[in-house]
Chains A and B, each alone.
Chain A
């Protein structure tokens, strides 16, 4: 390695009611190609938002929820997201269940991670050396950052917006594979965590973090652990490639093993 810092481009884009932060390490790509890839990634986010916004009564997902559109009449992303939702419900042992939401089928807990992955694929397809997308607190990476082999992701402290509970290291895989870090907890938007068993708001965690190869699934599993606490953590412990870190409401911590905590 030389002392010359690798060029990178950063960008922040409001979408899906939150803000997405991008970091793209150019590698051998010219800056204009990186900018074009970032613009394409943002278009992907806005497209996914338009399809799956439960806030927009005219969106396809809202029509689907009201029973006004059958699956065959909806864009091809729908069967894919439904498949992912079914897989996530099963993988979480039922702690994540888009079909148990009070207002009807609601894939929101998975869609942001799924959309982030699709946006990241635009950057990977453009040939940049590495990239990180942070979708409102859910992170997906590939390749390496500008200043080392692995990406370092701080996990926000649940009771202190200015502090980290810990730092985890992810990535260093081949450029073709992504690594994800998703965190859920009641401290930003408490009542969105619904216990599928009761249909009512519930949270048995102060903060739940899941790492693994898919942000869509990690996002859903983190939501599941935020609802189910230790019981849901035990389910994730049995999943290949996924690991979890839980801060309980009393401030005690536990994890499944398999997370690279930075020391």
Chain B
């Protein structure tokens, strides 16, 4: 059997606790909470996948690259994801935008997030090759972790 608890994809989530504390009711229009990201996005948020395959060296080290997702509605609120990789390894995921709709989801987030952050980076650097999840639509793909991975792989 497995250990209890969930973990986030990342460790370094600067300013995340402050974002978490921000709570809005209802479904307000997307709003960006600053300061969001520090490095330029590798490609435009929500852009279409590259039309042609491109090669790269797997596992290559080098400078960190970051891709940002657009602000999205999810089941319990709004969020935006920014993923940073070095080579093939995720080194950071930040959530510059997170609004939870209700008390329940905020409680869930508060329970889950602090546990996860330290665990993943310490254990295996969150090195993953793909993300399995409920089938997303073409539109939802643009804001998935998988799309951030693909953007960073397809130069």
Chain A positions near chain B (C-beta within 8 angstroms)? 5-14, 17-19, 21-23, 25, 31, 34-35, 38, 112, 132, 134-139, 141, 145-147, 151-167, 181-189, 207, 209, 226, 251, 253, 255, 257, 259, 261-263
The interface residues of chain B lying within 8 Å CB-to-CB of A154 are 9, 126, 128, 130-132, 145
CB atoms of B109 and A160 under 8 A apart: yes
Assess whether B143 is interfacial by the CB under 8 Å rule. Answer: yes
A-B interface contact total, Cβ < 8 Å: 219
| Nearest A-chain residue to B88, judged by Cβ | A147
| Interface presence of B63 (CB below 8 A) | no
Please state if B58 and A145 are interface contacts (CB–CB under 8 Å): yes
Assess whether B129 is in contact with A152, with CB atoms less than 8 Å apart.
yes
| Size bracket of the B interface | 35 or more
Give the distance in Å from the alpha carbon of A25 to the alpha carbon of B55 in the complex.
10
Chain B residues positioned under 8 Å from A262 (CB to CB): 123-124
B26 within 8 A of A: no
Whether A162 contacts B135 in the complex (CB less than 8 A), given A5-B60, A187-B74, A253-B4, comes out as: no
Give the residues in chain A near B48, CB-CB below 8 Å. Answer: 14
**B interface, CB within 8 angstroms of A:** 1-4, 6-9, 48-50, 52-60, 72, 74-76, 79, 81, 87-88, 93, 95, 105, 108-109, 112-113, 116, 120, 123-124, 126-138, 140-141, 143-147, 149-150, 153-154
Q: Which of B109, B126, B133 contacts A188 (CB 8 A)?
A: B133
Complex CA–CA separation, A21 to B146 (angstroms)? 8
Distance A58 CA – B138 CA, assembled complex (angstroms):
22
Chain A proximity of B113: nearest CB distance (Å): 8
Complex Cα distance, B4 from A167, in Å, reads 13
